[in-house]
Amino acid sequence: MRIVAAMRISAPILPLLLCAMLMLPVSASAQTTTEQEAADTPGLVDRYTNAAQELVNESMGYLGIRYRFGGSSPETGLDCSGLVQAVFRNALGLNLPRTAHEMATQGDKVQRQELKPGDLVFFNTMRRAFSHVGIYLGEGRFVHSPSKGGSVRVENMASAYWAKRFNGARRLLDEDGGGETNAAITR
């Protein structure tokens, strides 16, 4: 009977104890190998994140620019690959190939569930693989220059149209965020 009474008294305190335990620092011996490796390479994640953020920020500056087939200048209009080229050149100083299909051969292949901001996403919009490209922004969204009559905009990859046409993705940023993963990309 005393045990039951003690449990009733401490039951309201249990959530407070759990919260306090969660706030305690984790000892070094409890770190996983990945956490320890991250601690041993300070700034690694920050460098990747900074380069990806530069790409995202730069791409937002092109919102509303009209689509133009073959366009490679914000002043006269951009097509999908012209947009990607301009963003990577102006944000990171990287020169990419001209077409979406050529861009699809660069960098490292990435699975859809592993996408990170700054990755290139490819779609089949013209009944051929890798005919359209955009830049992944995070949270299932990408920026692209869609088609005649449109302008650079952000869309959701989960929408029926884009989900059905998704071809794959490539990561051009290396893990230290310092640039390209493929020698064909030049600075």
Active site residues: 80, 132, 144
Burial 5-25 (b: 16+ CB within 10 A, else e): eeeeeeeeeeeeeeeeeeeee
Nearest 5°: phi and psi at 38? -65, -40
Token pair for 47: 């460098």
Order of strands across the sheet with 120-123?
108-110, 166-171, 120-123, 132-138, 141-144, 153-156
Local structure of residue 179 (DSSP, 8 states): S
